[in-house]
Amino acid sequence: MRITVAESAGFCFGVSRAVDTVEKTARQGGQVVTLGPIIHNRHVVQKFQDLGVAVIDSPEQAQPGMTVIIRSHGVAKGVLETLHRHQVTVIDATCPFVKRIHDIVSKAEENGRLPVIIGTPSHPEVEGIAGWCGDCRIFESPEQLEKWALSGEISLDTAISMVSQTTSTENLWKKCCEIAKKLFTNLKIYDTICRATEFRQGEAAKLSRSCQAMVVVGDPHSSNTGRLAMICREHCEKVALVDNASQLNAAFFSGVTDVGITAGASTPAWIIKEVTKTMSEITNIEAVQEENFDALLEQSLKTLNTGDKVLGTVVGIGNTEVQVELGTKHAGYIPYDEVSSDPSVKPEDILHIGDEIEVFVVRVNDQEGTVQLSKKKLDGIKVWDDMAAWAEEKTTVEGTITEENKGGLVASVKGIRVFIPASQSGIAKGGDMAGMVGQNVQLKITEVNRARRRVIGSIRAVNAEERKANREKIWAEIEEGKKYQGVVKSMTSYGAFVDIGGVDGMVHVSELSWNRIKNPAEVVKVGDEIEVFVISFDADKKKISLGYKTAEMNPWNQFMTNYNVGDVVDAKIVKLMTFGAFAEIIPGVDGLIHISQIADKRIGKPEDVLAEGQDVQVKITDVDAENKRISLSIRALLAPEAEEVVEETEEVVEAE
């Protein structure tokens, strides 16, 4: 048989705090009493009676000089007033979550709103909540709530403030909220279920689905324990609710191979330990998840101090704070503004119910049993530790540029402000640093001064490291003809220098274009991204000769691909000679129009008809591919009729 004990079994922090309060007060001597049983567990109550702590049932029973302890369920405001009139010392051990509900209903009434409580009317906690407002309504089920709303007893536009008993089930609360939202037009809902309780119930549901039998340990009169048993029965056929180990029946577990154990919030650790031990004995096995309950009990009584770093479990995410179970008598909470240093981050995006987190103790209030925590502060402390380590180890980190100033740039790295001097920005002098704002960058931390909260970083150091690695790779793999994407870095009269990823190569002016150019600026400019190829290289001297013009860019090849003999094309007269005129068909490719092909009549010289720069239409009459010569004709485009008329006119003249 396998036995699994729920991790959340036993005292919640509210109960643990109340029990601890009674024990400490009893040791101090004097007549100590509790108003009602301190918790719903007869064994704990008996233990305190053995220590001399009595139980009174009403405030009227309190005698002057007594120390009266209020249990975790809390009491009505009037009860506290009565106790003070009896001249007793009052120690309030009300659960902080319950106290919060007292404040909600009290303020609601002050603001003219009607408090509505979802819970069991006879439960001490609910009775106490109701005692903090003059008028309220209490409902045990969504059906009761709906019936009241539709009865006509109250207007649906009445201002309603709705709260829940802390130990209510999430399912019941959600159904009530759905009905209230549909019916009431002026409604405020406060989610006051204790998330530790919700977590415990969720764990019980999960465990009961995977086990053949469940043992729920706790006082049968405890609401918390009763709900656990009810939840377990929804998923498991065999559920035993036992007050202590003596109620276990070996026959109940016949044929069972998996047993789960959970316990109510009012069940002390020693009873759970006793039940687990007895289960192991009657099944002749050892529990696979038996907890060291003595250690857990000791942990629940430990003290917290401002500045401590502690581990906790997220048990609730409310509207203004995150509730954290610390395993102590304190109710831990993280205000929303202490969750993250990034104001755009929502708590529910980074935290979830059941998450184990490390937090920083900001403030401890032993009187109220609360402790304010901060995830942001601890994250900040860790980041400063990381910063120092990154600087020492020269680690590359990622940051976001948030602003530019006259001295350089500012980056945010894990929420810490990092200054990047202009000389370390990786931007050339006079370059556009403002364009970096908003970009994610890689940088190195070069200096950390925690006392002055000053951090300096360098983008340039990362770039230099990358360039070094790229240089080594390029020289290891370089070969003639290999192509690279490069950036034009600078130019001279004889060529352009191109960065191919950490190494500069030179493209001679003759390798930039197939056309004759006087200056590299006619083809490229600094900053251009171009594709180049290796013509030659000298690894020893670290020199690379690059080419830019390719066969595909050769104008003659372009002409041969796109033009044929017989095509009529537009051309421009670029040079006049005694024997004809040269016309540019495409940049870099000229053809000759022989003097006999310029006009339909004899001319003395080409400039009689043509001028340099003139646009003409010509016909390609011949192509000498071997010698790269092209013959062109304007005359071939003249109309045949015009030629016949000229010939006839000439014949008549000759006859005369």
Res 286: pLDDT = 40
Res 329: pLDDT = 66
Q: How far apart are CA 413 and CA 188, in angstroms?
A: 40
Among 432, 442, 407, CA closest to 422: 407
Res 24: pLDDT = 85
Res 147: pLDDT = 95
Res 160: pLDDT = 96
pLDDT band, residue 651 (cuts 50/70/90) = very low
Average pLDDT, integer, range 142-150: 95
Q: What is the 3-state secondary structure (H, E, C) of 38-106?
A: CCCCHHHHHHHHHCCCEEECCHHHCCCCCEEEECCCCCCHHHHHHHHHCCCEEEECCCHHHHHHHHHHH
pLDDT band, residue 229 (cuts 50/70/90) = very high
Res 451: pLDDT = 79
Res 552: pLDDT = 67
Residues β-bridged to residue 505: 498
Top pLDDT among 278 and 236 is at 236
Res 335: pLDDT = 87
Q: Which of the given ranges, 48-62, 286-300, 355-369, 462-476, has the highest pLDDT on average?
A: 48-62
pLDDT band, residue 68 (cuts 50/70/90) = very high
pLDDT band, residue 415 (cuts 50/70/90) = confident
pLDDT band, residue 551 (cuts 50/70/90) = low
Res 303: pLDDT = 65
Residue reference for tokens 């180890």: 393
Res 285: pLDDT = 46
Average pLDDT, integer, range 309-332: 80
Res 321: pLDDT = 82
Res 634: pLDDT = 92
Token digits for 285? 């096995």
Look up residue 633 and give its amino acid: S
Look up residue 248 and give its amino acid: L
* Per-residue pLDDT at 652 exceeds 50: no
* Per-residue pLDDT at 650 exceeds 50: no
Top pLDDT among 140 and 552 is at 140
pTM as predicted:
0.46
Res 550: pLDDT = 63
Residues β-bridged to residue 258: 2
11 contacts 43 by C-beta, under 8 angstroms:
no
Res 231: pLDDT = 92
Give tens-digit pLDDT for 105-130. 999 999 999 999 999 999 999 999 99
Give tens-digit pLDDT for 153-207. 999 999 999 999 988 888 899 999 999 999 999 999 998 887 677 778 888 999 9
pLDDT band, residue 289 (cuts 50/70/90) = very low
Q: Computed from CA positions of residues 212, 218, 220, 226, in that sequence, does the dihedral angle turn out positive or negative?
A: negative
Give every CB contact of residue 547 below 8 A, 6+ residues apart in sequence.
Answer: 507, 511, 532, 533, 534, 535
Percentage of the chain modeled with pLDDT above 70: 92
Give tens-digit pLDDT for 617-648. 999 999 998 888 999 999 998 865 444 444 44
Which strand ranges, in their side-by-side order, compose the sheet holding 258-263?
Answer: 2-5, 258-263, 213-217, 238-242
Q: Which residues are catalytic?
A: 125
Q: How far apart are CA 101 and CA 164, in angstroms?
A: 8
* Per-residue pLDDT at 149 exceeds 50: yes
Res 649: pLDDT = 38
Give tens-digit pLDDT for 19-58. 888 888 888 888 999 999 888 888 888 888 988 999 999 9
Look up residue 378 and give its amino acid: L
Q: Give the H or E element holding residue 417.
A: strand 416-421
Token digits for 205? 């549901």
pLDDT, averaged across the chain: 85
* Per-residue pLDDT at 410 exceeds 90: yes
Res 587: pLDDT = 84
Token digits for 499? 């960065």
DSSP string for residues in 184-222: -SSEEE-----HHHHHHHHHHHHHHHH-SEEEEES-TT-
